[in-house]
Amino acid sequence: MPPHTSATSTVAADTAQAPSRKPAPTAVEGGSFQKIAADTSRRGSLIVVWIALFILFGLLRPDQFLTVGTLQTIFGSQQALVFIGLGALCAFSVGEFDFSVAAVAGLSATLVAVLVSDQGVNVWLAALIAVAAAVGIGAFNALLIIKIGINPIVTTLGVATLLTGVSSRISNGGSVFLDSPELYKVAATNVLGLPISFYYGLALAAIFTYVMTSTPLGRHMLFVGSNRSVARLAMVRVDRIRVGAYISSSLLCGVGGVLLVGTVGGFDPASASTYLLPALSATFLGTAVIQPGRFNPAGSMIAIYFLATGIVGLQLLGFAGWISDVFYGSALIIAIVLSTLFRRDRRHS
C-alpha cells in the first residue's frame, strides 16, 4: 500500500489496481442498436419529412397533387437548379463560397440565346462559347480569391452583380429567345416522362458522389474543406483544389444555363438571381441528410426535390408567388441551424 495512506484518509483504496486504460468517457460507443437507429433516422429525417409532405398535400388536394402531371412538374423542372446547386456545392465542399453561381448560369443562358438568335452563330458553337465564358469567370473568381486573397463572399457577390449587369446589356434589357430544335432535343427530349436533362442531373450527382466518397481527390477536398493547414502539411495541393473548385462550379453553372435556355426556349436575364437562394437553401439543407453535417451531392439533390415538392404543393393549395420566397428563405434558415447543430454534434459525439 502506498506509504501516504496513513496521512490521507480519502485516497481511493485501489491505487495499485492493474492497468486501468479504460476508454476516455468521451468515447464513441460503437455499434449499439440505438446509435445506429438514431443515426439512420437522422440521415433520413429529411426524406421522412419529404414523404410526409407528399402525404399531406395528397390528403389536402388528392385530385390535383397525386397526378402524373404534378410529379412531372416537381421532377422535370429543376434541372437548372441541380446544376447551379451542385456548382455551388463544389465551392462549399472545399470550404469556399461561390455566390456567383446563379449569375454565371444566367450569363451563359443569355449568351447562347443572343449568339444564336441575333448573331446567327451555330448553336453548338454558341453553347461552347457560353461554357467557356463561364469557365473564364470561375478562373477570374479563383484569381481574385486565391492569388490575391480577397474574401470569397465579397468577391463572388461583386462578380454576380457585375455579370447580371453584363447579361442585361447583352440582352438589351429584356428577355431573349432561342429557337433551336437541336438544343431542345439534347436538353429536353422526353425520356420516361421526364426531360432528359433530369437524368443528366442524376448522373452528375452520382459522379460527384463518387468523386467525393471514393477517390483520392474527394478525400483531399474533404480535408481542404475541413482543415486547410492539415491538408497542406500532408502535401495536398490545396490551392490547386481551391482553384479547381471555383472553375468546376462555374463550369457546371455554364452548362446549367445552356440546358435552361435550351429547354425553355428563352431567358430573362433579370430572373437569374432567383436561382441563387434556392441553390443555397438546397446545398445547406442537403447537409442535414445522408451525411449529416457535411456538404454532400446526394443530400443536395434530395433537398432540391424536397423544396420543389413544397413549392408545388403550396401553390396547389392556392398560395401565390410570394410563398416560394418565404419557403426557400425559411428552408435556408432551418438548414443552416440544422447543419450547425449536426456539426456541433459531430465534434462532441
Partner 1 sequence: MRSTDAHPHRDPVETGGAGGGTGSNGARGREVVEIKGLTKRFGRATVLDDVDLTIEPGEIHALVGQNGSGKSTLIKILSGVYTADAGRISVAGHRLATPVRPADLREHSLAFVHQDLGLVDDLTVVENVRVGQYTPGRLSRKIDWARERRLAEETFARLNAEIPLDARLGALPAGQRAVVAIARAVQGQRPGSGCVVFDESTQSLPRETLPEFYAILRSIARSGTGILIVSHRLEEVMSLADRVTVLRDGAAAATGVAVSDLTEAELSRLILGRELAGGRIAADPGATAGGETPDVAFEAVGVSGRTLQGLDLRVHRGEVIGITGAGDCGLDEVAAIVGGTSSACAGRITVGDAAFEVPVTDAAALHGAGLAVIPQNRMADGLAAEVSAIANLTLPRVRRRGRAFLSRGWQHEEFKEAVATFGITPAEPHAPAAAFSGGNQQKLLLSKWLLNAPRVLVACEPTQAVDVGARLDILRALRAAADAGKAVVICSIEVQDLAVVCDRVVVLRAGRDPVELGGEVTADAITEATYA
- Taking the C-alpha atoms of residue 288 and residue 170, their distance in angstroms, rounded to an integer, is 39
Q: Counting contacts by CB under 8 A, is residue 120 touching partner 1? A: no
Q: Counting contacts by CB under 8 A, is residue 218 touching partner 1? A: yes
Smallest gap from Cβ 138 to partner 1, in A, equals 23
**Exposed, middle or buried by CB within 10 Å (0-12, 13-18, 19+), for 49?**
middle
Candidate segments 71-79, 115-123, 271-279, 339-347, binder of partner 1 by CB under 8 A? 339-347
DSSP state of 24: P
Q: Counting contacts by CB under 8 A, is residue 238 touching partner 1? A: no
Considering only residues 42-71, where is the footprint of partner 1 by CB under 8 A?
Answer: none
DSSP state of 143: I
Phi-psi domain of 235 (left: phi exceeds 0; alpha: psi -120 through 50; beta: other): left
Smallest gap from Cβ 233 to partner 1, in A, equals 6
Lookup result for grid cell 497542406: 232
Smallest gap from Cβ 147 to partner 1, in A, equals 17
Q: Counting contacts by CB under 8 A, is residue 2 touching partner 1? A: yes
Q: Which of 41, 151, 172, 227 binds partner 1 (CB under 8 A)?
A: 227
Q: Cell numbers of 217, please?
A: 481527390
Q: Counting contacts by CB under 8 A, is residue 330 touching partner 1? A: no
Q: Which of 220, 252, 299, 302 binds partner 1 (CB under 8 A)?
A: 220
Q: Cell numbers of 222, please?
A: 474533404
Candidate segments 64-72, 215-223, 270-278, 308-316, binder of partner 1 by CB under 8 A? 215-223
Q: Which of 111, 222, 247, 261 binds partner 1 (CB under 8 A)?
A: 222
- Does the CA dihedral 261-188-210-31 come out positive or negative? positive
The SS3 of residue 25 is coil
CB 65 within 8 A of CB 57: yes
For 105-147, strand residue ranges (E) read none
Q: Counting contacts by CB under 8 A, is residue 235 touching partner 1? A: yes
Q: Counting contacts by CB under 8 A, is residue 149 touching partner 1? A: no
Q: Which of 97, 99, 223, 267 binds partner 1 (CB under 8 A)?
A: 223
Angle at 286 between CA 284 and CA 291, to 5 degrees: 120
Considering only residues 5-24, where is the footprint of partner 1 by CB under 8 A?
Answer: 7-12, 14-24
Q: Which of 119, 173, 192, 229 binds partner 1 (CB under 8 A)?
A: 229
Q: Cell numbers of 155, please?
A: 468577391
Q: Which of 61, 73, 232, 265 binds partner 1 (CB under 8 A)?
A: 232
Give which of 75, 70, 137 is closest to 102, Cα–Cα. Answer: 137
The SS3 of residue 269 is helix
Q: Site residues (CB under 8 A) for partner 1?
A: 2-4, 7-12, 14-30, 214-216, 218-220, 222-223, 226-227, 229-236, 293, 343, 346-349
